[in-house]
Structure 1
Amino acid sequence: MDKLREKLNNLKLEAEDWQDKYEALKEEKKQIEAENINHEHEIKSLTIKNERLEEEVAKLEETLDSHKESLAGADKDASENDVLREKAAQLEEKLEETEVQLRETSEKLNSTDINVDNMQRKLESAEQENADLEAKYAELETKYQATKDELDEMVKSLEEF
């Protein structure tokens, strides 16, 4: 009888331990999901910034092409050519700067994608561990109930005896 009570108490303690672990994993899952959401927002922000930079690069390229065409057709006035060349050089510099920014943004986006993938894997791992713990908890609950029922039967038979 004492062994049964001790076993029952041990099962209760083990069930409480599993419940604590389950709660801790649930909290960790929430944190990972929050981080995942933050990363998704950062990706969206970087994607939008990247699109804007690409549009600006396209506009600058069009402007550069336009100025190059203007420069080619402006042979009449040397001073005008000098001004246009200077503008074209400035635009080329700005284009180079924008391309550098675009590359940096692309690198950041790739890095963020990698981070998101890593977080997703961690989240999936935590979810799997959570599912395993829930299954074990259910199994322990079943064993606990069976032991309790058996104990109740013994107590009842002892009382009848």
Structure 2
Amino acid sequence: MDRIKDKMNSLRIEADESAAKVEELQKQVKALEQENLQKEHEITSLQHKNQQLEVEVETAEGKNKELKETADASGGHMSQNEALQRRLQLLEDEAEEADKNLRETNEKLRQTDVKAGHFERKVQALEADRDQWEAKYEEMSKKYAEVQKELADFQLEIGNI
């Protein structure tokens, strides 16, 4: 009788621990899903910024081309040519900076994609672990019900004696 009580207590403790573990894992899954959502928002934001930078680069290249054409057309005006060259240099610097920003943004986007993939795999692993714990919990619940039934039957037998 004491062994049965001990076994029941042991099963209760295991069931409680399993339930706590399942709750903990569910919290972790929710946290990872939230983090994944944030990463997706960041990716979207970076893609938008990337598009804006591409437009800026195209605009700067257009201005650069226009300035070069203007500089060629006004070959006789040295002072105007120098001013245009300075302006051209500024635009080229801006284009280089925009290109640099574009490369950095693309690198960040790639890193974010890698991280997102990593977290997706992590979420899948945690979900598999959770499913395993749930199956274990259901099995333990069935065993507990069987032990309860056996105990009730045993008590009936003892009561009938």
* Code of the aligned partner of 1:29: V
- TM superposition shift of 1:82: 2.3
Which consecutive segments of 4 or more residues in structure 1 shift more than 4 A?
none
- TM superposition shift of 1:41: 1.6
- TM superposition shift of 1:142: 0.8
* Code of the aligned partner of 2:38: N
Is residue 156 from structure 1 mapped to residue 159 from structure 2 by the alignment? Answer: no
Q: Which moved more, 1:81-90 or 1:118-127?
A: 81-90
Q: Which moved more, 1:3-12 or 1:131-140?
A: 3-12
**What corresponds to 1:35 in structure 2?**
35
1:53-82 deviation digits (Å, cap 9, x = unpaired): 111111111111122222222234333322
Q: Which moved more, 1:64-73 or 1:50-59?
A: 64-73
Work out the number of aligned pairs and report it.
161
For 1:113 and 1:68, how far apart are their aligned partners in 2? Answer: 40
**What corresponds to 2:63 in structure 1?**
63
**What corresponds to 1:95 in structure 2?**
95
Q: Which moved more, 1:74-83 or 1:133-142?
A: 74-83
For 1:79 and 1:10, how far apart are their aligned partners in 2? Answer: 93
- TM superposition shift of 1:144: 0.7
Is residue 26 from structure 1 mapped to residue 26 from structure 2 by the alignment? Answer: yes
For 2:136 and 2:154, how far apart are their aligned partners in 1? Answer: 27
* Paired residues for 1:103-142 under 5 Å: 103-142=103-142
- CA-based RMSD: 1.4
Structure 1 unpaired stretches of 5+: none
For 2:2 and 2:86, how far apart are their aligned partners in 1? Answer: 96
Q: Tell me the TM-score normalised to structure 2 length.
A: 0.92
- TM superposition shift of 1:45: 1.5
Could you tell me the percent identity over the aligned residues? 35
For 1:73 and 1:23, how far apart are their aligned partners in 2? Answer: 74
Q: Tell me the TM-score normalised to structure 1 length.
A: 0.92
* Code of the aligned partner of 2:81: N
